[in-house]
Amino acid sequence: MPKELSVPIQLFIDAQQKSYAKKLRFFLLLKLLYSCGKTRLEEDELLFIEFIEEIRCRKTSLGYIEFLREKGWLFYNQKTGYYLLKSFERIRRENNWEVGLAFPIDSSSYRNIKAVTGAVIYGYLHRDFWRKLKRKKSVRLKGRTYHFLSPKFNYQEKPAPAATKLKNEALRHKLLFVQKNYSVGIPNKKAMELCIKYQQGAPNTMVFRDGANRFQLIETVYPLFHFKKLKKRKTYSKGYIEI
């Protein structure tokens, strides 16, 4: 089993958007178990995988396998009797994913798909935001971090509570750190209430903190991990099949 996989970050986003996170986790386990890129998935292998994944029904395992075959990520070679696992680079190329970053996955972290997805989303937003500031590009603050997404990273926060859960999972697994931010203390509470009433866009919440009324500002999210850079895409001649 390899110590680590470099998984394209857009794969986690796609799985979240299209609701196949559990199936992705199954695929990641196969990639970890069979670093050679092929397996027969015979009875003893399936029993071992089901034990690790806590899958109680063979129908579930077969459903995951069928899903991966339909996606083209698992190819059955009738001549040899082996299932071939498609490479992450091939998956990335076929989906035209342009972001050249990966998240490191090992035998422990692969199970925490929600936490990893939350870390990927907010970690990339943090990186993209500061990169834009560094390049002195104008960034319009609207009260929510996902407004800083680049066109290459297509993630829509729908619904918002789902993304909050992902962020909380990432926090629980210590992949992110969130700093709460507040305005300076404002003694006139009525003035603050009027400000909230007539404020356009996302309204600020008024809180009482450290002995004064304050506005709760945008949270600052810091990633506690490092992305890995994917290798540059290769060009392939016609007729060449790469798994």
Q: Taking every pair of C-alpha atoms in the chain, what is the biggest distance, in angstroms? A: 79
The secondary structure of the chain as a DSSP string is --S-EEEEHHHHHHHHHTT-HHHHHHHHHHHHH-TTSEE---HHHHHHHHHHHT---HHHHHHHHHHHHHHTSEEEETTTTEEEEPPHHHHHHHTT----EEEEE-TTGGG-HHHHHHHHHHHHHHHHHHHHHHTT------S-GGGG--TTS----SSHHHHHHHHHHHHHTTSEEEE--BPPP-S-HHHHHHHHHH--SSPPEEEEETTEEEEE---EEEESS--EEPPPPPP--TT----
What pLDDT is attached to residue 195? Answer: 62
Model confidence at 182, in pLDDT bands (50, 70, 90)?
Answer: confident
The model's confidence at residue 102, banded by pLDDT at 50, 70 and 90, is: very high
Report the pLDDT value the prediction gives residue 193, as an integer from 0 to 100.
66
pLDDT score, position 199: 59
Of 203, 225, 231, 229, residue with least CA distance to 216: 203
Chain segment 68-81, per-residue pLDDT in tens: 999 999 999 999 99
- The region of weakest confidence among 50-54, 144-148, 164-168, 173-177 is 144-148
Per-residue pLDDT for 119 more than 80?
yes
The mean of the pLDDT values for the chain is 81
Q: Which of 52-56, 181-185, 201-205 has the lowest mean pLDDT?
A: 201-205
pLDDT in tens, 186-220: 666 666 666 666 555 555 677 777 777 787 777 78
Instruction: Report CA 225 to chain centroid distance, whole Å.
Output: 13
